[in-house]
Amino acid sequence: MPSLDPAVAEVRRAVRSVIGPLGASRIVVALSGGADSLALTAAAVFEAGKSGSNVLAAIVDHGLQPESDAVAQRAADQARALGAEATVLRVDVDSRHPDGPEAGARDARYAALRRCAADEAVAAVLLGHTLDDQAETVLLGLARGSGAASLQGMAPVRQDGDGVRWLRPLLGVRRATTRAFCAASGLEAWDDPHNTDPRYARVRARERVLPVLEEELGPGIAEALARTAEQLREDAEAFDDMIHETIEDIVEHAEAGISVSAAALAANPAALRNRIIRLVVDSEFGVGLTRTQTLEVARLATEWSGQGPTDLPGCSAQRRGGRIVFTAR
């Protein structure tokens, strides 16, 4: 028997590690037709067949490019040829999304996949993000200065409140490997023109910044960035456990809002104090705070000198006696 191509073996092994624990079930794979998701779909079909599972390839047509419907149909045909079922999900992208068209497309895509998962009652949705995608995400988070939460990158496993599980089996696999998988398997991948459009920050990070870092600092930059994300996720999980234990003791519900003990906040290390403030505001009012806003709230505990309320997105924070009270605006 001919030996298995190393790229095929690596991708299958990565997919096996997440499909195996699911047992016999139905799985959705997000398929764009690109090399990453096409390799993921092919490997998922192969591995799912061993456990009696079946795969549904969900192709999201954003309608943002000429003949996008033909691209989506081609991906669906490829999925069926591999042995998967396939469905095309057409979405409307919010062109006025506050974070730009790329974010609007992402939100529309995930909403469609979430609906598909609910309709199909599947165990999980598999996404084709690779180690290179992870490195780009961490690099962009670093450039924004948006803190450890952003530098954690994409989680390999995430479960939403509605029970949908998002799995990224290929976060340890290089993009070159998925391309080699497709070549070895006789699969012709579609190249999204958006992936080479320098108007997008992610494309500039991929095409310009990472190659320079590799050239100037040596090989292995992408792997190092991915390791950084993994280490920060481990730290964040430990912090989250500490935060939830602390919050039970220092947080109380207040009229039209929530309050936190100022003395308890001041007694905690800054990293824990700031995380508590962000978590309380996000949980109660569904908004995220910038670092500047977080530090202004923290000053109500650590540098109290009678200052007035601090205005925040959707709420305000005010010192009342020994507590900091957050109320809706």
- Of residues 232 and 149, the one with the higher pLDDT is 232
pLDDT tier for residue 1 given thresholds of 50, 70 and 90: low
Q: Is the separation of the CB atoms in 315 and 286 below 8 Å? A: no
Nearest to 141 by CA among 131, 129, 154: 154
pLDDT of residue 152: 86
* Per-residue pLDDT reduced to its tens digit, 119-151: 998 979 999 999 999 999 999 988 887 667 778
Check pLDDT > 90 for residue 35. Answer: yes
The residue behind tokens 């598909």 is 116
Phi, psi (deg, nearest 5) at residue 266? -65, -30
Q: Which pLDDT score, from 0 to 100, does residue 18 have?
A: 93
Q: Which residues contact 143 (CB under 8 A, 6 or more apart)?
A: 201, 205
In the three-class reduction of DSSP (H, G, I as helix; E, B as strand; rest coil), residue 95 is classed as coil
**Torsion 42-48-49-50 (CA) sign:** positive
Q: From CA 72, how far away is CA 310, in angstroms rounded? A: 49
Mean confidence (pLDDT) of the chain: 91
DSSP 198: T
Share of the chain above pLDDT 90, in %: 65
The reported pLDDT for the residue numbered 134 is 95
For residues 42 and 186, give the distance between their C-alpha atoms in angstroms, rounded to a whole number: 11
Structure tokens at 302: 């650590």
Tell me the pLDDT tens digit for each residue of 260-287. Answer: 999 999 999 998 899 899 989 988 898 8
Once rounded to an integer, what is the mean pLDDT over residues 201-229?
93
pLDDT, tens digit (0-9, with 9 covering 90-100), for 233-263: 888 888 788 888 888 889 998 777 899 999 9
- Residue ranges with strand state E in the chain: 26-30, 54-61, 85-90, 124-126, 157-159, 165-167, 251-254, 257-261, 310-312, 315-320, 323-328
Q: Is the pLDDT reported for residue 198 higher than 80?
A: yes
**pLDDT confidence of 297, banded at 50, 70, 90?**
very high
Each residue of 61-99: pLDDT tens digit? 988 788 899 999 999 999 999 999 999 999 988 877 777
Residue 286: count other Cβ atoms within 10 Å of its Cβ: 10
Pairing of strands 310-312, 124-126: unpaired
